[in-house]
Every structure is written in C-alpha cells, then in structure tokens.
Amino acid sequence: MWIFWAAVIVFIVVEGALIYIVFRYRRRPGDGLPKQTHGNTKIEIAWTLAPAIVLAVVAVPTVTTLIDLSGAPPDNALHVRAIGHQWWFEFEYPEQGVTTANELHVPVGRPVSVTLESKDVIHSFWIPKVVGKVDMVPNHVNRLPTFIIPEDSPGMYLGQCAELCGTAHALMKFRVIAETTEEFENWVQLQNEPGKPPSTELQQMGYDLFIGKGSCLACHTIEGTIAQSKTGPDLTHFGSRTSLGAGVVENTPDNLALWLDHPDNLKPGTIMASNAIIYRDPSQGLNDSEIESLVAYLKGLK
C-alpha cells in the first residue's frame, strides 16, 4: 500500500504537469516556429535524480518485504509438500502422514508453509486469491511464501498451474479447502484410515476390476489394498474429494463414469488415457456395467 500511494502521487504530478503543459503551450493561430533549443543540463540532472531518489526510497519497503517473505515459517506452521505432475498436484502432509491429490485442505487462522517440487517438467503453483505464484522445478525445492487464510474466510479457493507444461496445462487445477481446525483434524483422521473395503456386491465387482482387468493398480494407490503405485493420484479417499481430473469437473457419479469411459474427452492429453491398456485395445475396454461398478467402488472410498 505504501508503494501504491507513492505511485499515485508520482502519477498525479507527472500527468498533471503533462496536461497543464499541453494546454498552456498549445499551438495558437499566428504562432511562428517556436524557439529552438538543444539540451538543458539542469533539467536533465533533475529528471535523472528525482526518479533515482524515488526508486531508492521505494526499494526499502520492497526489499524488507521480500526478506520477510523468504524467511523461515513460524513454529506453528502447517507443513505441506506439493509435487507437480503432468497434469495434477500431489499433496503430502509429512507431520500428519497424509497423502492426497488436487485438494489442499488447510485450517483457517493457521500459517501454512508449502514446499514445491516437480516430478517431471516445470510447473507453477498459483492460488490467485491467496498467494503469488512460485515455480515447481524438477530437482529443486522451492517454497511458497507462508500464508494464512483468515478465520472469517473459510471456503474453497481455486488454484491453477501457471507455467506452460504440456497438453493439459490449462486443465491442471487444484482446490484449496479452508476449514475450521476441528474440520481439518477430522479430515486428517479420515485420511489416515485405509481405503474403505467394498460393502456391496457392485462395489466388490468394482474392486475386483480395480486390481484386475482394469489395471488401475498399475498407476494408483489405495491404502489397505495391493494397489500401491505412485504414478497417478492416490485414490485411498477419492470419494471424499470434490473434483476429479485435477479440478476439471465436479466429482459426481456421472462425471466419474464419463471419466472412466474416456478420460481424454474430459481432459485432452491426460496420461491416464494413454497409459491405460484398456484404451489401447477397444476389445478390452470397460462396458457400462463395469464402469457402474467402478463408480460405486470409487465413490465409496470416502
């Protein structure tokens, strides 16, 4: 704000002088050629020194703020590791032992410190309404400035990858879910449980597909099952997430069915489509009842 008001004063002085001079010395009928001059040492020194002084003064709060932002997070900060993948975000809470994807749960009123990494190419982590963007660089750990979501502003904040990272860059989104400390603790507790076992016949069929013909386990983890691959998002509590495909659509049964049928239609370029064997060989594809059972099983993973 300090710099904003300094800029407002400079703007008014410069534009005011410009408009005054344009009117005061405008060309009038009968004017001959104006007096021709070349150079004015005093004015040139003045208009070099004045901006230099203004910039030197503005540098003080700028640099101080930059140093503050890059300082160590406070002791009570919540630590999160965010890892960029083509094209989704992995979130790990080392102190809570939680791994999830595309939805960053944070308690309101508590400082949050996010470290940023990448598994493949350069991504950029951006929550426009909360904190400025910082790159996620392979083989290098960056840190987002520590942020706090105010106690009176719980809710959902949209996040977006802000660095062109391939086909589905524009659809590499995430959500920040800011909730009360109690809600956050409950969420952590739920996330620490293994994936809910199938409880209906339909869900059992979905589970069998997940670890069998569907080959979903080749890329995904569901804790408590033999599916332990880290290539794609952890699905242990997929049913508790609000969106799917990294924030592309709401996590409804209909959208999930569309996604399982042809993820590429919802998210062109997604690696799920090109990797899953079922999409290479149409005869191996999932039929409608198989999709229905997978939806029942995955939605049950609260």
Q: Footprint of ligand CUA on this chain (CB under 6 A)?
A: 84, 87, 123, 161, 163-165, 169, 172
Closer CB to ligand CUA, 169 or 175, in the complex: 169
Closer CB to ligand CUA, 83 or 295, in the complex: 83
Least Å from the CB of residue 237 to ligand CUA:
23
Closer CB to ligand CUA, 12 or 164, in the complex: 164
Least Å from the CB of residue 14 to ligand CUA:
39
Closer CB to ligand CUA, 82 or 260, in the complex: 82
Least Å from the CB of residue 165 to ligand CUA:
3
3-state SS of the chain?
A: CHHHHHHHHHHHHHHHHHHHHHHHCCCCCCCCCCCCCCCCHHHHHHHHHHHHHHHHHHHHHHHHHHHHHHCCCCCCCEEEEEEEECCEEEEEECCCCEEEECEEEEECCCCEEEEEEECCCCEEEEECCCEEEEEEEECECEECCCECCCCCCCEEEEEEECCCCCCCHHHCEEEEEEECHHHHHHHHHHHCCCCCCCCCHHHHHHHHHHHCCCCHHHCCECCCCCCECCCCCCCCCHHHCCEECCCCEECCHHHHHHHHHCHHHHCCCCHHHHHCHHHHCHHHCCCHHHHHHHHHHHHCCC
**Inter-residue contact 81 to 89 (CB < 8 Å):** no
Closer CB to ligand CUA, 115 or 203, in the complex: 115
Least Å from the CB of residue 116 to ligand CUA:
11
Least Å from the CB of residue 246 to ligand CUA:
9
Least Å from the CB of residue 161 to ligand CUA:
3
Closer CB to ligand CUA, 163 or 179, in the complex: 163
